[in-house]
């Protein structure tokens, strides 16, 4: 093989790898479903699985515009902070807008939890409670095992300077 042909082949392989990686990332992002991870969903009853999947997907879809607005508001706060001169009134306005959007998001999450709790059976409600008690509303499991640093009871001692409880 000539040197030019080897170089062309190498570049072609690298471009194909880049395209495959980009496609895989796109597919993974498109298949995102809000709520507990699949391992935790397997613990639910079939009716609970269907109800949680439907409710979380509906809630996530309804919040799409608010999430976008919150990202934009966060960018506005950052822009005010990064400006050459600090404008306190602009900062107050931008941060208040962000706070209001975060309150809307949290209220929708509370409403979703209440809606689910009213429709789930007792065992599935216990799993929902475990999921909501995890860090950021993540069910303890594969990524956040029970008893890790993020799942300590409220009265657990704080870690010392060495990071040990």
Per-residue pLDDT of the chain (165 residues; tens, 9 = 90+): 788 888 888 898 889 888 888 887 777 665 554 555 566 666 778 888 788 778 878 887 888 888 889 889 999 999 999 889 988 999 999 999 999 998 888 888 888 888 888 888 888 888 777 777 665 554 444 444 444 444 444 455 555 555 444
- pLDDT at position 1 is 73
- pLDDT at position 28 is 64
- pLDDT at position 117 is 83
pTM exceeds cut of 0.85: no
Which tokens in the block code for residue 99? 């706070």
Q: How far is the C-alpha of 97 from the C-alpha of 74, rounded, in Å?
A: 9
CA–CA–CA angle 121, 127, 132 (5° rounding): 120
- pLDDT at position 35 is 53
Q: What letter would DSSP give residue 2? A: -
CA distances from 160 to 144, 157, 163, 164, 165 (A): 21, 9, 5, 6, 6
Of the candidates 48, 57, 60, 64, the residue with the CA atom closest to the CA atom of residue 116: 48
């Amino acid at each position: 093989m000539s040197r030019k042909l080897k170089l062309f082949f190498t570049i072609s392989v690298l471009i194909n790898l880049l395209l495959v990686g980009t496609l895989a990332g796109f597919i993974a992002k498109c298949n995102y479903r809000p709520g507990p991870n699949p391992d935790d969903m397997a613990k639910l009853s079939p009716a609970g699985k269907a109800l949680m999947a439907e409710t979380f997907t509906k809630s996530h879809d309804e919040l799409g515009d608010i999430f976008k607005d919150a990202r934009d508001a966060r960018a506005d706060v950052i822009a005010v902070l990064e400006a050459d001169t600090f404008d306190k009134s602009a900062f107050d306005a931008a941060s208040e807008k962000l706070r209001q959007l975060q309150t809307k998001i949290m209220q929708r999450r509370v409403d979703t939890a209440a809606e689910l709790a009213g429709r789930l059976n007792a065992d599935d409600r216990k799993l929902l409670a475990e999921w909501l008690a995890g860090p950021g509303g993540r069910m303890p499991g594969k990524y956040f095992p029970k008893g890790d640093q993020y799942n300590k009871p409220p009265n657990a001692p704080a870690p010392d300077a060495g990071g040990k409880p």
